């Protein structure tokens, strides 16, 4: 496949998105064509704060105080943790042009490392202090992500998805068949979140705020890095690797580095997930879970980091309430159909729908103003 074809495939949504937001030209300023400005970035970012940003931030902080523990933990905490893993895929796919299915394996490895190095009921565990175990888990999983990247960036576009899929499934079989390190099919149980300064992170409220802090950290980190020189170069590599190579950029190094960055995000998400689940087993990184992450990222839309979290919320809600729509065992059918509908009719996911809605509203408003003005 030529670079041009791949670019078209990746950008087929982007062009329309930009066009739609740009039509009501006066109302919505174009999403800034990022220039590398690191110094005044903060003041520029402050200037861009809109009312909706404040509302969303206030809502996610107040949310656990007004809803039941079930909604705080099962819906809120899980959405944020899954969203963080999906964010790593959004970063790789949306800004690096590389759709990796192995992000769940990276997260799973981080979880396994927390269980192996830290505390669990299994005799394999080494019972390190939790902060050391977490630090090493993130380090090792990031190393694994870098290795996955190193293997898969040698190929382009659609090949990446297959190679990362093969790596991910191979990792699943490894955890299933290896008993000396990964404890085989039984996995690790009772991997409890630690007590920090007298606060039990296992409780719904502390876990929610921990997840929220990690999610916000990840979100702003991605927001920052896509405007930093590295992020700009990465987007250049996504759009036209040949030209970037001619300009003297090391294309492969940028891609592998993107895998490492995404690996950090995914492994933090993986640590949260194992604390959420209290256990880890091969099923936690199976093909179904790997595809879940892709479903979340695509559902939300890969054009903006917030899409990952929007997708995660919808996904978790469907997962928990599919039982009311149709039998619980048919959850996969519901989410599969939702996913198919999104892919077939709105390639930009929920963000694409939101952009369409805003464009409609803006056009409607402009029309009304035109009419009343005569």
Partner 1 sequence: MRSRAFQLWAWLIVIGGPIAVFVVWALVDNARQFVSTFLNGVTLAALYFLVASGFTLVFGLMRNVNLAHGSLYLLGAYVGWEVGDATDMWLLAVAAGFLTAALVGFLLQVFVFRFMQGQDLRQTMVTIGLSIVLADLMLWQWGGVIYQFDPPRAIYGSLPMPIIRGYPTYRIVVFLGAVAIGLLLWWFLNRTRVGMMIRAGVDDRAMLAASGVNVQRVFALTFAIGAGMAGFAGVVGGTALSISPGEDTRYLLASLVVVIVGGMGSITGAAVGALLIGLAEQFGLAYAPTYGIVFTFVVMALVLAFRPRGILGKPA
**372 touches partner 1 (CB under 8 A):** no
Stretch touching partner 1 by CB under 8 A, among 4-12, 129-137, 193-201, 208-216 = 4-12
Nearer to partner 1, 8 or 360 (CB): 8
Nearest to 140 by CA among 91, 191, 106: 106
Indicate the SS3 state at residue 195.
strand
Task: Count interface residues toward partner 1 (CB under 8 A).
Answer: 46
Our CB check for partner 1 shows the closer of 99 and 256 to be 99
Cβ proximity of 86 and 300 under 8 Å:
yes
Q: Does 200 bind partner 1 (CB under 8 A)?
A: no
Spatial distance between the Cα atoms of 98 and 79, rounded to a whole number of angstroms: 23
Q: How far is the CB of 35 from partner 1 (least distance, A)?
A: 28
Q: How far apart are CA 144 and CA 262, in angstroms?
A: 11
Please give the residues from 8 up to 27 whose contact with partner 1 meets the rule CB under 8 A. Answer: 8-10, 12
Token pair of 44, please?
Answer: 């520029």
CA gap 193, 366 in Å, rounded: 53
Burial level of 363, CB count in 10 A (0-12/13-18/19+)? Answer: middle
Residue number with CB closer to partner 1 (63 or 331): 331
Question: Which of 300, 279, 280 is CA-nearest to residue 343?
Answer: 300
161-to-97, 103, 158, 254, 297 alpha-carbon distances in Å: 11, 11, 6, 18, 14
195 strand-pairing partners: 200
Among 143, 157, 206, 236, binds partner 1 (CB under 8 A): 157
Helix (H, G, I), strand (E, B) or coil at 119: coil
Residue nearer to partner 1 on the CB measure, 119 or 175: 175
Nearer to partner 1, 208 or 315 (CB): 315
Residue 326 within binding range of partner 1, rule CB under 8 A: no
Q: Which of residues 233-292 bind partner 1 (CB under 8 A)?
A: 287, 291
- Contact call for residue 2 and partner 1 (CB under 8 A): yes
Q: Which residues bind partner 1 (CB under 8 A)?
A: 1-2, 5-6, 8-10, 12, 99, 151, 154-155, 157-159, 161-163, 165-167, 169-170, 173-174, 177-180, 287, 291, 294-295, 298, 329-330, 332-333, 335-337, 339-340, 343-344, 347
């Amino acid at each position: 496949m030529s670079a041009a074809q791949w670019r078209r495939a990746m950008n087929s949504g982007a062009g329309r998105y930009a066009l739609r937001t740009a039509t009501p030209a006066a109302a919505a300023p174009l999403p800034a064509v990022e220039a590398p400005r690191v110094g005044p970035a903060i003041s520029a970012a402050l200037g861009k704060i809109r009312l909706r940003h404040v509302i969303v931030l206030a809502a996610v902080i107040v949310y656990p105080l007004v809803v039941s523990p079930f909604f705080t933990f099962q819906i809120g905490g899980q959405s944020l943790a899954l969203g963080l893993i999906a964010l790593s895929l959004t970063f790789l796919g949306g800004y690096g042009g590389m759709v990796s299915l192995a992000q769940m394996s990276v997260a799973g490895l981080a979880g396994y490392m927390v269980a192996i190095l830290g505390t669990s009921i299994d005799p394999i565990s080494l019972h390190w202090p939790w902060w050391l175990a977490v630090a090493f888990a993130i380090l090792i999983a990031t190393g694994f992500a870098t290795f996955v990247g190193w293997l898969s960036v040698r190929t382009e576009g659609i090949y990446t998805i297959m190679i990362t899929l093969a790596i991910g499934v191979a990792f699943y079989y490894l955890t299933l068949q290896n008993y000396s390190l990964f404890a085989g099919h039984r996995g690790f149980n009772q991997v409890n979140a630690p007590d920090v300064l007298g606060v039990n992170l296992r409780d719904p409220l502390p876990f929610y705020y921990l997840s929220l802090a990690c999610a916000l950290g990840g979100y702003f980190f991605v927001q920052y890095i896509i405007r930093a020189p590295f992020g700009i170069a990465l987007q250049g590599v996504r759009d036209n690797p040949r030209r970037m190579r001619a300009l003297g950029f090391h294309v492969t190094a940028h891609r592998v580095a993107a895998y490492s960055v995404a690996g950090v995000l995914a492994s933090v998400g993986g640590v949260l997930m194992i604390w959420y689940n209290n256990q880890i087993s091969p099923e936690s990184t199976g093909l179904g879970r790997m595809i879940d992450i892709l479903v979340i990222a695509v559902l939300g839309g890969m054009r903006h980091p917030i899409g990952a979290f929007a997708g995660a919320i919808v996904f978790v809600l469907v997962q928990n309430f599919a039982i009311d729509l149709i039998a619980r065992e048919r959850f996969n059918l519901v989410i599969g159909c939702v996913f198919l509908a999104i892919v077939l009719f709105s390639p930009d996911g929920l963000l694409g729908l939101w952009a369409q809605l805003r464009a409609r509203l803006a056009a409607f408003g402009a029309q009304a103003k035109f009419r009343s003005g005569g």
